[in-house]
């Protein structure tokens, strides 16, 4: 039976630890490809062009929207973020499991365009742990942290639209759980239409 690649959306509040989970998921297994987003926000210390994000001006980003180069895009805390189309389509065709680490508005656009996409939401064990992680990063001003906590509260209202939540209390354990969910989800009937149809046809012919 052919194993198709799966499109996986991973969302979660800023500071929930998605970045660490993505690194662990990709370094532990070869079949994942992580999409690199375009953004109009400025690079944070340590981030790299083409690895963390493709950094664009607002005008450049709007050009990408006009040329239909993005699978989805959203405005988040005053900046544009979007998923370049070509990489995702090429990797899915090559049979890779493609992971998009994006926020909820983008996740809903993906769900509409690709009903077979799997949507995961990473949660911290508590709100206090979330705030401590954001403060501990030391890269954001108090005002930005406050805006991100408010945003987390708003985003928490949409969690039921996702297929699974993943609670990030221990990054290794959480990565294993994510991997297991993704690999199991491939065998849900909605993602095995071709195989099911093939066996149905065979059954009729026998």
81 contributes a contact to ligand 5GP by CB under 6 A: yes
- Which is it for strands 54-55 and 38-39: parallel, antiparallel or unpaired? parallel
82 contributes a contact to ligand 5GP by CB under 6 A: yes
Closest approach of ligand 5GP to the CB of residue 125, in Å? 18
Stretch in the footprint of ligand 5GP (CB under 6 A) among 56-64, 73-81, 169-177, 196-204: 73-81
Stretch in the footprint of ligand 5GP (CB under 6 A) among 57-65, 68-76, 131-139, 171-179: 68-76
Closest approach of ligand 5GP to the CB of residue 150, in Å? 14
76 contributes a contact to ligand 5GP by CB under 6 A: yes
17 contributes a contact to ligand 5GP by CB under 6 A: no
* CA nearest to 84, candidates 106, 69, 105: 69
Q: What span, in angstroms and rounded, lies between the C-alpha atoms of 50 and 65? A: 19
121 contributes a contact to ligand 5GP by CB under 6 A: no
Stretch in the footprint of ligand 5GP (CB under 6 A) among 75-83, 124-132, 171-179, 193-201: 75-83
Residues that bind ligand 5GP (CB under 6 A): 14, 37, 41, 72, 74, 76, 81-83, 101-103, 105-106
């Amino acid at each position: 039976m052919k194993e198709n690649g799966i499109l996986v959306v991973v969302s979660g509040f800023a500071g929930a630890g998605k970045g660490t989970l993505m690194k662990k998921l990709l370094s532990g297994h070869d079949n994942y490809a992580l999409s690199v987003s375009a953004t109009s926000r400025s690079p944070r210390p340590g981030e790299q062009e083409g690895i963390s994000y493709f950094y664009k001006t607002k005008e450049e980003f709007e050009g990408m929207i006009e040329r239909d180069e993005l699978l989805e895009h959203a405005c988040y805390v005053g900046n544009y973020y979007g998923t370049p189309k070509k990489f995702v389509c090429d990797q899915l065709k090559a049979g890779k499991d493609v992971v998009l680490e994006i926020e909820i508005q983008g996740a809903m656009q993906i769900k509409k365009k690709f009903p077979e996409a799997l949507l995961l939401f990473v949660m911290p064990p508590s709100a206090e742990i979330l705030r401590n992680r954001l403060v501990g990063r030391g890269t954001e001003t108090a005002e930005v942290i406050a805006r991100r906590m408010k945003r987390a509260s708003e985003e928490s209202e949409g969690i039921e639209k996702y297929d699974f939540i993943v609670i990030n209390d221990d990054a290794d354990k959480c990565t294993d759980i994510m991997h297991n969910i993704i690999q199991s989800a491939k065998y849900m009937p909605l993602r095995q239409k071709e195989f099911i149809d093939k066996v149905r046809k065979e059954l009729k012919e026998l």
